Amino acid sequence: MTVTTLTPNQVQTYLAEIFPQFDATITHIDRDGATLELPTNERHLRPGGTVSGPTLMALADAAMYVAILGNLGKVALAVTTNLNINFYRKPLPGRLRAEARILKMGARLAVGDVLIYSEGLDDSVAHVTLTYSIPPNSEATD
């Protein structure tokens, strides 16, 4: 059985405390992953009307972090050590959706990948692989 340590609302509240500028909405979270949505606006756009690469990377990073929180509980000190992103379709202005999947939740490293979707397109627009380092003295609390 899959048990969720924290609810989306609990994680959303926790993130608002530590990332006041975090403007994505958590729509799903369980031990295997998390889904986030981000309404893009002018500040996320590039010339030509496409969403900027850093916006996609930040969203993927947040989605993986949320998936780790959902799995481990509050781990404020987990840090990204590796991020690999392939951009293969042009995202449209509008809502983005990031679906994070945990591949390995280890004692020291968490590995996962994220598919990013753009409102109005069926296929994903970018794929991201991430590794987070879990600090040795991390106390999973909930």
Binding footprint of a second copy on the chain (CB under 8 A): 18-19, 21, 43, 46-47, 52-54, 57-58, 61, 76, 79-89, 103-104, 106, 108-109, 111, 113, 115, 123-124, 127, 129, 131, 133, 136
Closest-CA residue to 103 (of 73, 128, 77, 74): 128
Amino acid at 7: T
CB-neighbour burial class of residue 133 (10 A; exposed 0-12, middle 13-18, buried 19+)? middle
Closer residue to a second copy in complex, CB, 70/112: 112
Closest-CA residue to 59 (of 84, 34, 27, 37): 37
Closer residue to a second copy in complex, CB, 3/47: 47
CB of 104 to a second copy, least distance (A): 4
CB of 47 to a second copy, least distance (A): 5
